[in-house]
Amino acid sequence: MPCEMCGKEGNVLKADIEGAVLVVCNECAKFGKIISRVRAPIKNKKSESQPAKKQVQTVKRELLQLIVEDYAKVIKEAREKLGLKQQDLARKIAEKESLIQNIETEKFVPGMDLARKFERFLKIKLIEQHEESHQQKFKAKSAALTIGDMLSLKK
């Protein structure tokens, strides 16, 4: 049977570890109080051969929203096209003039909410949609998860 903490196969014990009764190996049992030994289950001779480990592939797709690289130029040109000064634009979108100045000089990158404000008022496109897909391939150990599988241990 596998250890519920580290996944190691072999002789296991029942132990009380911080209030939880777990089936653990000898090495992990030292973290708690040993309750009893667990006998290995009797295996049926027909099921002695184990199936081959499967290779699992997952594809994660994320939709990312990013602000365009030349946001300062786009905002400044749109503002000037409407014939507005930085002070006028700031008043119309309820932001500080210094914020508009910093954005137009690329000292400050607007957040998504502020970028949407600019898009609505200036009728420009600042936010781009990017789709990223990540493929992960790994070999499946077994159907049972251990506590160690769920934790990222620092070694």
pLDDT at position 8: 86
Supply the CATH number for residue 114's domain: 1.10.260.40
Share of the chain above pLDDT 90, in %: 39
Q: Both 68 and 126 in a single domain?
A: yes
pLDDT at position 17: 86
Residue 54 has pLDDT above 70, yes or no: no
- Would residue 84 count as lying in a domain? yes
Bigger pLDDT: 141 vs 9: 9
Is pTM beyond 0.85? Reply is no
Residue 143 has pLDDT above 80, yes or no: no
Q: Both 27 and 76 in a single domain?
A: no
d(CA 148, CA 44) in angstroms, rounded, equals 29
Q: Both 71 and 126 in a single domain?
A: yes
- Across 44-57, average pLDDT: 58
Residue 37 is part of which domain span? 1-42+142-155
- Would residue 51 count as lying in a domain? no
- Would residue 126 count as lying in a domain? yes
Tokens of 48: 């002695």
Q: Both 111 and 155 in a single domain?
A: no
92-119 pLDDT, tens per residue? 999 999 999 999 999 999 999 999 999 9
- Would residue 8 count as lying in a domain? yes
- Would residue 123 count as lying in a domain? yes
Number of separate domains in the chain: 2
Q: Both 117 and 149 in a single domain?
A: no
pLDDT at position 45: 57
- Would residue 48 count as lying in a domain? no
- Would residue 99 count as lying in a domain? yes
Q: Both 126 and 152 in a single domain?
A: no
